[in-house]
Amino acid sequence: MLTFMLFLHVVGAVGMGIYAILPFVAGRFKQLSTPAQEGLASGLLTAGRIGQFALVLQLLSGGYLISQQDYKVSWLIVILVLFVAIGAFSGILQGPLKRIKAAAANSQDASGAVSRVQTLSAVTFVLFLVIIWLMQDPWYA
């Protein structure tokens, strides 16, 4: 069971990889035409949803893996706060992406939403890097 849960945890980490490329892809919004912005926003909405499902998979499989060893409570709290923060930022990110998609469909300006997507994706990326570092080097009791 441990091996299977570890496999699921790695699959979830790969699925969360969208957060590693999101800021770089979102940086291309201003260089695209209006129809291309709509397509990119639609693709990023789908990718963000996959990342959120991967985050849930991480929480479930990680919960099992945590129960198999003793970790410091401080590490557990930090990890949980980071996961909640990543989930919050990735959820908040969906709104501006939907606004970009709608604005592009109506040939309107979405520069404010584009800037918000770029900022939120950069913050999510930093949180993702921090959680990878902490998972690589957990604090044991």
| pLDDT one-digit tens code per residue, 29-71 | 889 888 899 999 999 999 999 999 999 999 999 999 999 888 8
Alpha-carbon distances of 23 from 97, 117, 136, rounded to whole Å? 13, 8, 23
Residue type, 30: K
pLDDT in tens, 89-127: 999 999 999 999 999 999 898 889 999 999 999 999 999
Q: What is the dihedral of CA 89, 94, 96, 100, to 10 degrees?
A: 150
Q: Is the dihedral of CA 35, 87, 11, 53 positive or negative?
A: negative
How far is 37 from 55, CA to CA, in rounded Å?
26
* Residue 2 tokens, joined: 């441990």
Contacts for 6 with CB less than 8 Å, ≥ 6 apart: 61, 65
